[in-house]
Amino acid sequence: MKLHKQYAQKKSLLCVGLDTDIEKIPAFLLDYPNPMLEFNRRIIAATAEYAIAYKINTAFYECMGTKGWETMAETLSLIPSDIFTIADAKRGDIGNTSTMYAKTFFETMNFDSITVAPYMGADSVKPFLAYPDKMVFLLALTSNAGAQDFQWLKDGEKPLYQHVITTSQKWAANSVGELGYVVGATKADYIGEIREMCPDAWLLVPGIGAQGGDLQAVLNEGKTEKGGLLINASRSIIYAGKGEDFAEKAAAEAKKMWAEMGI
């Protein structure tokens, strides 16, 4: 599996989020035919030494229409083939619709994994799990303020996010793909109990860096012998610099996070 190999090779759990906003990239790049693509090209080249995964937030590309989809595909092609890729698309719909979403991101785009919303249940998730060598990251316990609206609602003693984890593992048992979970870094106090519920699953953990998550707390509670964590950082790395040396600044920030992991 790509993640295990990358973890063993680089001693890293870093995932770089390519949430590229054309309004935030250095102004000099606007002279290029495709400013977003040039920005991504330089970020990837500068950080690949430390990253075991790249997460493309599809919303930042989809909003640009056809040009955005082309840029997303070209960005994906720039990522070294041995590095794991995530489509942060948060899809999830009735079975036949999810089947088309799965085709989009696993066949047409050839991402290694995708984020999926579990609210509509098993038939909305299983089409994504049917692909060999692909992964699904289900939203479990997120870091946004609105997470309290539903994720903490209790059925008996267990909050909804725990039901999502325990129930979904039954779906994965009958499917080909692997199943992981999105758990916000600002919820580090709960990562330990989540790890007990899914001891071998990979957890995609956004919220380190700009959102203020505690890296060491996440590592202490969630790291496994084979890695088990993808520590995502987006803004704190890709926007570390504003000038022509932005890629060098991004590399320095990625290296700093890698060193802090101390693996």
Q: Which residues are catalytic?
A: 90
Distance CA 125, CA 107 (A): 16
Q: How far is CA 176 from CA 4, 132, 179, 217, in A?
A: 18, 5, 10, 32
Q: Which phi and psi angles does 47 have, rounded to 5°?
A: -110, -5
- Could you give the 3-state DSSP secondary structure of residue 17? strand
From the centroid of its chain, how far is CA 26?
Answer: 24
Per-residue burial over 1-17, b if 16 or more Cβ lie within 10 Å, else e, is: ebbeebbeebebbbbbb
Give the Cα separation of 37 and 33 in Å (integer): 9
Closest CA to 40 of 70, 56, 18, 16: 18
